[in-house]
Structures are given as C-alpha cells and as structure tokens.
Structure 1
Amino acid sequence: MTYTAVDIAKYIVSYCSGKHRPVSNLKLQKMLYYTWIDYYKKTGTALFFNEICAWQLGPVVPDAYYEFCSYAGTPIIRTYDVELSSGDTAIINKIIEDYIPIPASTLVNRSHRKGGPWDTVYQDGLGNRGIIPFSLIKDMECVGTC
C-alpha cells in the first residue's frame, strides 16, 4: 500500500511520542528518508511518492517539512490517528525502532555521504532544493539489496 509522506511523518511522530522519544522536524526528515529506503529494500515498493529534495541539511520531503515546520528544532510531541496496513505497521515500526536511538546529527552526516544521492543533487549548494529522483535513491542506497 502507498501512503502520503505526511501520513508516514505523522505515524513516525506518533510512534516516537508514544515511546517518549519525540523527534524534531530535522530528525523526522531524516527518518522519513531512511524509512523510505528501508521499506523499499524490504518490499521492493515505494512507501510514498512525494518528492524528496536536497536541502542544506540533507534530504527533505517538503510536504512533511511544512506540516511540522512550526516546531522548529523542538521535539514534536503529538499523536495522530494514522492507519497503516498490519503488514506495513510491523515493517515501519521495526524501521523506526532502528532509527530512534540515532542522533539527528548522525543521520544528517550519513545522508551527506560523498557520492550519495543527496550529494549528487546538492553539489555544494548548486542543486539546493533540487529533487532527488527515486531512481537515484534506489541505485545508490539499495545496491545489492533491492
């Protein structure tokens, strides 16, 4: 099943709030990116089709960013009623659990990997806010696993 990025973002926010490990919008953006990748690796299908863009602090899904930008750098403590299929819930919960303990700064650094999708599009700022094609993400992040 395919969802919107905002639905997945709300699910991540709710899950993390429920675990008393709320995330900032920055960390949420990185978790969305890596959730998309890990979900694709596991299922071979896209979790959402909203654009992922190369912003200064890494990959960002603008639709989800603007949904939560009023929180700035503060933890987002909210719960939403987002329904996922039972199979997707299990997959996504596991992915979230893997990323909850990782600091946002570590995820930013990981997403800025030289030669990775973000770096390829961002190009030291020349491609700021450019779209990172899903094909590029698949080719560079899912090599040998998808």
Structure 2
Amino acid sequence: MKALDVSKYILTKCNLENNPISNLQLQKTLYYIQYEFLTKMDKPLFEDDFEAWKFGPVIPSVYYEYSHIGAFKIGANYENYDSILKNMSSYETELLNSIIEDKRTKDAWFLVDDTHKKGNAWDLVFKNGIGFRDTISKKQIKENAF
C-alpha cells in the first residue's frame, strides 16, 4: 500500500468528521500509524519510507501532493477513500482509526515536538541537519520512534 492512499483515507475521514488537518499534522499522523503497525502488527502499513526533515519525519510524495496548501487545513475528500480497508482486519482498521482520531486533535507543534525527542529515530538520522532528507528506516522507527 502507498502512503498517499493512506493519506487520502486520513484526510477524508478527518474532513467528514469535521476535524480537518494540515500537511504537518498529516505527516506526523502517518509516522504514528507506521510506528503502531510496525510494533503491534510486526509489519508496515505502507511501503513508503520517511525522510528526516527539519520539522520531523516526512514522506516526500505526500508532502508535495499537498504542499501548495501551505500550513492551512487540507479540505480534500476522496471517493472510494475507504478502499484501503478492504485488505485490513477489523483490528487493523480499529488501530488505524484510533490513531487518526487521537492525533487529529493534537496541535501540529505538539506532534513535531513528540517526534523530535533527543535520541529517537528522527534525531539520530537528522543529526542537527547533517542527515537532512536521509531515510529513517522502518527498523529504526520500530525500535526507536519515540
């Protein structure tokens, strides 16, 4: 599965439930989701890799899809947005939805701070900018995301 497909699900769910989110919140929500799937399901939800950017872990393809919106809330609604759920168990669906419902209400800068903790995966890769745009491996996320 692609992170962009998961993003379309997240954005549409948030908008339909009157809790739109920004690109920054979306990036962090994807990171939490990937971490939870790696630790609880022992597999990633999506195949894309995160990169270490200044404001935390980022999936470039998703970032650039919505970058024209800037820091504003993304008002996108997609048809068939829930098609990603077809191959997911009820537990996986519940896990995905619970993360979205929790993180969409958090301030974007709270989420940034949470992913920037000293010694975590992003910090170890970013290295005060030396590792800008370097990949944060799924192994690093699973073992040391937070």
Report the TM-score when normalising by structure 1.
Answer: 0.90
Question: What is the letter of the counterpart of residue 48 of structure 2?
Answer: N
Runs (4+) of structure 1 moved beyond 4 Å?
A: none
Per-residue deviation, residues 40-73 of structure 1 (Å, max 9, x unmatched): 2231111011110000000001111111111111
Contact 2:122–2:145 (CA<8 Å) still a contact in 1?
Answer: no
Match of 2:125 among 89, 101, 121: 121
Q: Which residue number in structure 2 is paired with residue 94 of structure 1?
A: 98
Q: Deviations over 1:94-114 (max 9, x none)?
A: 111121221110000010010
Root mean square deviation, CA, Å: 1.4
Matched, 1:112 2:126: no
Partner of 2:31: 33
**Residue among 3, 6, 22 paired with 2:4:** 6
- For residues 41 and 18 of structure 1, the distance between their equivalents in structure 2, rounded to whole angstroms, comes to 29
Tell me the TM-score normalized by structure 2.
Answer: 0.90
Provide the aligned length of Structure 1 versus Structure 2: 140
Would you say 1:64 and 2:62 are equivalent positions?
yes
The 3 A distance-change label for structure 1 pair 91 and 23 is: same
**Whole-Å Cα distance in 2 between the matches of residues 72 and 93 of structure 1?**
25
Distance 1:139 1:42 in 2: 12
Structure 1 unaligned regions, length at least 5: none
- Give the corresponding residue for 1:133: 137
Output the CA distance in 2 between the equivalents of 1:77 and 1:52. 24
For the residues of structure 1 that align with 2:126 and 2:70, how far apart are their CA atoms? 22
Give distance in 2, aligned partners of 1:124 and 1:141: 17
Which residue of 53, 63, 72 corresponds with 2:51?
Answer: 53
Shift of 1:79: 1.1
Structure richer in helix, relative to its length: 2
> 1:100, 1:46 → 2: CA distance?
21
Give the Cα–Cα distance (whole angstroms) in 2 for the partners of residues 138 and 42 of structure 1.
Answer: 10
Shift of 1:39: 2.2
Between the aligned partners of 2:142 and 2:39, the Cα distance in structure 1 is: 9
